[in-house]
Amino acid sequence: MKPFKIPESVLVVIYTPALDVLLIERADCPGFWQSVTGSKDRLDEPLLETAVREVAEETGIAVGSAAVPSHSLTDWQHAIQYSIYPQWRHRYAPDVMRNTEHWFGLRVPTGTPVTLSPHEHTSLVWLPWAEAADRCFSPSNGDAIRQLPERVR
């Protein structure tokens, strides 16, 4: 049996210098567009490590490479709590109903290649930040993207 997910996760808004934002479509829910997200693998895993791992797993982008140096990933020092969607609640312990999500931003060069993990995501699109925010199925993901112009100043 697979262990329960830890109810602490990261959301990573990946964007270009022109503020185009990468959205990826969930394989298990067609039409659900989102930024990179993922839970800690262990309780003591640093959030920055979670963010780097999830970006690599979901997009193939290697933070810390020559193309995307480590300083391109910033901790936005912002966390929210939300109710876990019913369709994913089975992944958590039975008494867990809420998740804490920590927001990060990752600036990448325009044209950065993306390789999706096919069991997690089926499509990708780069959109101007306002359009990307409107396309997200998660209201908090949309809120994070709407903060992008202020966060990069």
Cite the annotated binding site for substrate by residue number.
Answer: 5, 26, 37, 138
Cite the annotated binding site by residue number.
Answer: 5, 26, 37, 54, 58, 120, 138
pLDDT at 79 over 90: yes
Percent pLDDT > 90 in the chain is 93
pLDDT at 67 over 80: yes
Domains of the chain (ranges, CATH numbers): 8-151 (3.90.79.10)
- Give the Cα separation of 137 and 28 in Å (integer): 13
List, in sequence order, the alpha helices (H) in 60-126.
none
Tokens 């809420």 locate to 98
- Give the Cα separation of 84 and 91 in Å (integer): 10
Inter-CA distances, 128 with 11, 19, 20, 149, Å: 18, 6, 4, 11
Inter-CA distances, 124 with 74, 139, 147, Å: 22, 19, 21
Q: What is the pLDDT of residue 113?
A: 96
11-66 per-position pLDDT tens digit? 999 999 999 999 999 998 899 999 999 999 999 999 999 999 999 999 999 999 99
Cite the annotated binding site for Mg(2+) by residue number.
Answer: 54, 58, 120
Rounded to two decimals, what is the model's pTM?
A: 0.96
